[in-house]
């Protein structure tokens, strides 16, 4: 299928991209890897008159350190996340989870910024960002602002990103020593979005949970942080009863849509299974 006609713009700097968004208005869309936007254009779900391509802006791509924070350029592709030694050392959850996203072809073009900015509840990076306490650096006509992942996702395809803003980078604090982590993603086949997914980051001391984040993928209109489930574990010994309380609290906030991946009852049951598995894996990795 061929997308509708559009004009193509290739800015060389972030400021140029922001200026183009300002002058072209709501008829313009940023183009990153194109693996969500172009299918939507081909299906006529999106019909922008202008595409502003971010691929010619080198400063948007790459992974570096700012003190103890890993700074990931928004145009960094999934395969670069997988290959990054810095990320493997500091936030291994993101390397391992990226392997579960789509297929090698998509991972070669699809960007972390596009995955987050798109606001698709089926995408994996939103829940991963929530459990990593990530922040997003956004540049607009009035300069840069930094927004926490928690609260950024407002609904399906809706985020705090304004129409005239570019996501520049994702800032992720390095995991503290002894942090356990896991991403459990049930999918029908390689390359599919999650039927249900759960990300966990956890720390312990003397058998009690001292820090925990639980994020859910494709189980509501947006990625969810399961705060009540976290509270069921915090300061508690990690045992089956506490895990079950957390599972129940996490499942209680899910509101999945019925589709070809399953009906609501099945998806909620699978949410529980993913949460349980992710908690046990993260606990086993923590020290």
With beta carbons less than 8 A apart as the criterion, state whether 16 and 166 touch: no
**Cβ contacts of residue 80 below 8 Å, gap of 6+?**
61, 62, 63
Q: Is 159 in the site for ligand FAD (CB under 6 A)?
A: no
Q: How far is the CB of 41 from ligand FAD (least distance, A)?
A: 9
Residues 120-139 that bind ligand FAD (CB under 6 A): 123-125
Tell whether residue 74 is a contact of ligand FAD (CB under 6 A).
yes
Does the protein bind ligand FAD through residue 117 (CB under 6 A)? Answer: yes
Least gap, CB of 4 to ligand FAD (angstroms): 15
Residue 167 binds ligand FAD, judged by CB under 6 A: yes
Taking residues 187 to 206 in sequence order and writing x for each that binds ligand FAD by CB under 6 A, - otherwise, the string is: ----x-x-------------
Least separation, in Å, of the C-beta of 223 and ligand FAD?
10
Among 3, 11, 33, 121, binds ligand FAD (CB under 6 A): 33
Q: Which stretch binds ligand FAD (CB under 6 A): 113-121, 129-137, 253-261, 274-282?
A: 113-121
Q: Is 111 in the site for ligand FAD (CB under 6 A)?
A: yes
- Please give the full DSSP string across the chain, using - where no structure is assigned: --PPP-EEE--SSHHHHHHHHHHHGGGEEEESS-TTHHHHHHTTS---SEEEE-TT-GGGS-EEEETTEEEEETT-BHHHHHH-HHHHHH-HHHHHHHTTSS-HHHHHH-BHHHHHHT--TT-SHHHHHHHTT-EEEEEETTEEEEEESTTTEEETTEES--TT-EEEEEEEEPPPTT-EEEEEEE-SSTTPPPSEEEEEEEEEETTEEEEEEEEEESSSSS-EE-HHHHHHHBTSB--HHHHHHHHHHHHHT--PPPBTTB-HHHHHHHHHHHHHHHHHHHHHH--
Q: Which of 102, 128, 186, 200 binds ligand FAD (CB under 6 A)?
A: 102
Output the smallest distance, CB 136 to ligand FAD, in A.
Answer: 9
- Contacts with ligand FAD in 43-62 (CB under 6 A)? 54
Smallest distance, ligand FAD to C-beta of residue 39, A: 6
Contact range with ligand FAD by CB under 6 A, out of 116-124, 173-181, 198-206, 227-235? 116-124
37 binds ligand FAD (CB under 6 A): yes
Whole-number minimum distance, CB 31 to ligand FAD, in Å? 5
């Amino acid at each position: 299928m061929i997308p509708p006609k559009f004009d193509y713009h290739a800015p060389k700097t972030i400021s140029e991209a922001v200026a183009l968004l300002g002058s072209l208005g709501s008829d313009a869309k940023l183009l990153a890897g194109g693996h969500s936007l172009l299918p939507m254009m081909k299906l006529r779900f999106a019909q922008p008159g202008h595409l502003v391509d971010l691929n010619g802006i080198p400063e948007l791509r790459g992974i570096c350190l700012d003190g103890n924070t890993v700074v990931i350029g928004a145009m960094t592709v999934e395969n670069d996340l997988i290959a990054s030694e810095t990320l493997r050392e500091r936030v291994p959850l993101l390397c391992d989870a990226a392997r579960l996203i789509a297929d090698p072809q998509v991972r070669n073009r699809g960007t972390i910024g596009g995955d987050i900015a798109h606001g698709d509840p089926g995408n994996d990076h939103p829940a991963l960002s929530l459990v990593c306490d990530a922040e997003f650096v956004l540049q607009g006509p009035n300069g840069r602002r930094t927004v926490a992942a928690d609260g950024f996702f407002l609904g399906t395809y809706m985020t705090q990103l304004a129409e005239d803003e570019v996501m520049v980078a994702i800032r992720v604090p390095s995991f503290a020593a002894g942090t356990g982590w896991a991403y459990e993603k049930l999918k029908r086949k390689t390359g599919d979005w999650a039927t249900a997914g759960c990300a966990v980051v956890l720390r312990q001391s003397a058998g009690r949970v001292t820090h925990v984040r639980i994020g859910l993928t494709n189980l509501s209109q947006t990625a969810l942080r399961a705060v009540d489930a976290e509270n069921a574990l915090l300061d508690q010994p990690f045992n089956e009863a506490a895990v079950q309380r957390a599972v129940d609290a996490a499942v209680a906030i899910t509101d999945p849509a019925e589709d070809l991946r399953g009906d609501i009852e099945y998806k909620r049951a699978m949410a529980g299974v993913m949460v349980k598995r992710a908690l046990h894996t993260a606990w086993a990795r923590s020290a």
